[in-house]
Amino acid sequence: MEQIRCSNLSIGYGERAIASGLSFSVNAGDYLCIVGENGAGKSTLMRTLLGLQKPVSGHPVYSPEIRKNEIGYLPQQLHIQRDFPATAGEIVLSGFQGQTGRRPFYRRSEKAEARAIMRRLCIGELAGRSFRSLSGGQQQKVLLARALCASGKILFMDEPVTGLDPEATREMYAIIGELNRRGMTIVMISHDILSAVRYADHILHIGSTCFFGRKEDYLRSETGKRFLNRREVGL
Ligand SMILES: Nc1ncnc2c1ncn2[C@@H]1O[C@H](COP(=O)(O)OP(=O)(O)OP(=O)(O)O)[C@@H](O)[C@H]1O
C-alpha cells in the first residue's frame, strides 16, 4: 500500500529551490534511505515531508489511512539537546505530547506504552536515570523510544547513528531493522552509504544527479556507482 507520494516536488527556502523535480513514493513496510552530497537538501526534504517546511512547489501526498500521530520523527541531534534536565522516562513520555493536546498529564495507557517501548529497546532500567548522565548510544535509544511513541506506521530519522561508536551503531541498525521487519516504514537520511545500501531496500539520491528506485538498481546506476566509488576511496 502506498503511504507517501511526491511528484515533481521542489524543496527550498522562500522562493529559492535547493532540489527540484523530486518524484518518488514510499510503500508500507519500505526501508528507504535518502543519500546525497552535503547540502543537497536531505534534511530539508525530510522536514518538507513532515510538513515542517513549506515546499517551493508541489507537495507530498499521504495516504488518507495515515494519521499524523502515526508518524514518528527522530531529528538530527544537536549537542545542546543532550543536556536536557529530565529523566530518560520523562523524555520518552514526551513523545506523546503531540497527542495530549491541552491535557497536562499523561494517560495510564501512555505510561504503560512508553515503558513497553523502553523494554523493547532494552533500556527499561534507564527510565529513572537523568538523560544527561547517559552515554551517546543510550541517549540515542531514548530519543528513538520517544519517536516511537508517536509512530505506529512511519518512522523518519535524520542520521540516527551519527556520533555513535561502532557497537552502538550496530545496535541502532539492529533495532531499526527489527522495527522494519515488524512492518514499520523506515525513511532514513544516512551519510553512511555502505550501511544505506546494506540495510535499505530503496534509495533516494538527491544532488547534481538524482535517483529513486530499488537498491539493486541504484548499485547498477551511474549515480550509485559514482557515489559509492567516491566514498570507498574516502573523498
Ligand atoms: N533555514 C534555512 N534557511 C535557508 N537555507 C537553509 C536553511 N536550512 C538549510 N539551508 C540551506 O539549504 C541547503 C540544504 O541543507 P540541508 O541541511 O537540507 O542539506 P543536507 O543534504 O541535509 O546536508 P548535510 O548532508 O550536510 O546534512 C544548504 O545549502 C543549507 O545551507
Residue 194 is placed in which grid cell?
Answer: 555502505
**Ligand 1, residues at Cβ distance < 6 Å:** 13, 18, 36, 38-44
Residue 29 and residue 144 in one domain: no
Provide the pLDDT for residue 219. 94
Nearest-atom index, ligand 1, CA of 44: 18
Is residue 94 domain-resident?
yes
Is residue 73 domain-resident?
no
CA distance 209 to 8: 15
Residue nearest to atom 26 of ligand 1 (CA): 38
Q: What is the mean pLDDT of each run of 10 residues along the chain (235 residues)?
A: 96 94 96 95 95 95 87 78 82 80 77 91 92 89 88 89 86 91 94 91 94 96 88 52
Provide the pLDDT for residue 235. 43
Residue 101 and residue 142 in one domain: yes
Please choose from 20, 42, 158, 161 the residue to mutate so as to test ligand 1's pocket, defined by most ligand atoms within 8 A of CB.
Answer: 42
Provide the pLDDT for residue 102. 60
Beta pairing partners, 189: 34, 158
Residue 89 and residue 146 in one domain: yes
Nearest-atom index, ligand 1, CA of 191: 25
Please choose from 22, 33, 43 the residue to mutate so as to test ligand 1's pocket, defined by most ligand atoms within 8 A of CB.
Answer: 43
Residue 84 and residue 144 in one domain: yes
Quote the domain boundaries for residue 201: 1-66+154-165+184-234
Q: What CATH number has the domain bearing residue 60?
A: 3.40.50.300
Residue nearest to atom 24 of ligand 1 (CA): 38
137 Cβ neighbours under 8 A, 6+ residues apart: 164, 165, 167, 168, 171, 172
Return the closest-CA partner of residue 149 out of 196, 81, 99.
99
Residue 59 and residue 159 in one domain: yes
Please choose from 22, 34, 44 the residue to mutate so as to test ligand 1's pocket, defined by most ligand atoms within 8 A of CB.
Answer: 44
Q: Tell me how many domains the chain contains.
A: 2
Residue 57 and residue 85 in one domain: no
For the entire predicted model, the pTM comes to 0.90
φ, ψ of residue 211 in degrees (nearest 5): -145, 140
Is residue 209 domain-resident?
yes
